[in-house]
Amino acid sequence: MHPKDLAAKYEVKVFDGTAAAEAAGFQLGRRMAPRNVWNRDSAASAILYDLISKRKRGEVSDIALVLEINSVTGAFKKVEAAAPAQPEASA
């Protein structure tokens, strides 16, 4: 399956370059540089399924794929720690 089709199926953002992903607040993760299109699709699915499992475990909040001509990179946003509860001030 084409990486963009996989991304649509699993509600994953897709970027054309690493700079665009970083500008959107994503951290870059695993990167693969396959030799041909068939391998690129396979690499994208491997990276994507790894990120999906991390999202299910609650390790990351948002995931994306960066699809460049010669490489595929996974990107993610870490789950932000919950802010400690502030006691309400009585008036």
Query: CA-CA distance, 29 to 55, in Å (whole number)?
Result: 14
- Report pLDDT digits (tens) over 19-73: 999 999 999 999 999 888 789 889 999 999 999 999 999 999 999 999 998 899 9
Q: Is residue 52 part of a domain?
A: yes
Q: Is residue 82 part of a domain?
A: no
Q: What integer pLDDT is reported at residue 81 of this predicted model?
A: 59
Domain count, the chain: 1
**Bridge partner residues of 66 (DSSP):** 15, 73
Q: Is residue 50 part of a domain?
A: yes
Enter the pTM of the model. Answer: 0.80
Here the tokens at position 53 are 């499992």
- What range defines the domain where residue 57 resides? 3-77
Q: Longest C-alpha distance within the chain, in Å?
A: 67
Q: Is residue 29 part of a domain?
A: yes
Query: CA-CA distance, 53 to 88, in Å (whole number)?
Result: 38
- Cα 24 from chain centre: 11
Q: What integer pLDDT is reported at residue 80 of this predicted model?
A: 80
